[in-house]
Amino acid sequence: MNNPKNKLLIQLTILTLSIILIFVILSTPSLFEFTWNQILRDLFPGTEYFFRIITELGGTQVYFAIFFTLFWAVNKDGAKSLMIVYASSNFVNYYAKSIIANNRPPQSEWILIGASHLSTPSGHAMSSTIYWGYGSIRIKKLLMWVFSIAIIVLVGLSRMYLGVHWFGDVLTGWLFGIVILVLVWIFEQPLRSSLSKYNPMIIYLGLALVSLIIMIFSEFFYAQEHNIGTTAGKMIGISIGLALEYKFLNFEINRESLSKSRFILRISMGLIIYLILSLVLYLIIPSDVVWLVAIEYLIIFIVGLVIWPLIFTKLNF
């Protein structure tokens, strides 16, 4: 693996095989039949509440909570990279869904949860592969890999068990996630080197501007059932939040001076604020208005990346 040519060969092989498998799966109608879901239900009868809990490990709220925890008190740079990779992948999922245009299983088969947009690839399966996979790549611990693979597999199966995705959706979701992870594996370091010469403010605001342009274009020329405000709003919120934090705070995490009690207080209070804010915004902002949904995420990230760090740095905890 130390040989650059061998490493590139492995990367390209994984990338090529994953793309080929995506097309094979999409060309296999039998993988988009409910038979597979029923087999899973028969294997694990009466576990719908277990899978309902598991499916949240591939959901936005859990991802945001982990991200904020890392950003506030563990590893700011790692948190930034993780969230930017995750938010970028949401655009891929949005457009892949719209291009493939597969409908979900019938609503009569859904258990405990609902879903409101197209089906292939599974967003939960894809996002969990990217989020937990990228985290494992950064941490480089065997236990983390085992834990992450278990979550990735269980999250994908939960979507089938709960009836909101076909088997083919989950398989393509995992493969899309692998494709993105390999592309990050190939291009992350060269991209970091190229961007290191620029002011981070320019990079963050550039990401926000590109996301805004994509959102406007998609809303007026490529509107889909799935709200692009959810996808673009995450990147806009993250980028503007990071830009403001860099400009006005740029706080550092001092692990040596951060006692266990201060760590717990910083995280617990911050997550409580985040959860209350998310609930309030969810209740007052219509989920079908693109601009308002984007503003919802902008508010969440400004509070999480700027206002709460300002509070705990000023109060020294």
pLDDT in tens, 59-78: 999 999 999 999 999 999 99
What is the structure's pLDDT at 256?
Answer: 79
**Cβ contact 243:204 at 8 Å:** yes
Distance CA 127, CA 210 (A): 21
Distance CA 35, CA 111 (A): 16
- Name which of 123, 139, 138, 53 is nearest 87 in CA terms: 123
Instruction: Identify whether residues 176 and 227 lie together within a single domain.
Output: no
**Cβ contact 86:128 at 8 Å:** no
Instruction: Identify whether residues 170 and 64 lie together within a single domain.
Output: yes
Asked whether residue 222 carries a pLDDT value surpassing 80, the answer given is no
Instruction: Identify whether residues 192 and 244 lie together within a single domain.
Output: no
Residue 297 lies in a domain: yes
Distance CA 144, CA 158 (A): 21
Please give the average per-residue pLDDT across 237-241, as a whole number: 97
- How many structural domains comprise the chain? 2
Asked whether residue 295 carries a pLDDT value surpassing 70, the answer given is yes
Please give the average per-residue pLDDT across 114-136, as a whole number: 92
Helix pair 260-284, 290-302: axis angle to 10 deg: 160
Amino acid at 82: L
Element (H, E) at 296: helix 290-302
Please give the average per-residue pLDDT across 123-134, as a whole number: 96
Instruction: Identify whether residues 121 and 269 lie together within a single domain.
Output: no
Instruction: Identify whether residues 172 and 260 lie together within a single domain.
Output: no
What is the structure's pLDDT at 218?
Answer: 87
Q: Note down the domain range covering 56.
A: 10-18+47-104+116-197
Distances (CA, A) of 171 to 35, 82, 166, 178: 15, 23, 9, 11
Residue 206 lies in a domain: no
Element (H, E) at 173: helix 167-195
Instruction: Identify whether residues 156 and 241 lie together within a single domain.
Output: no
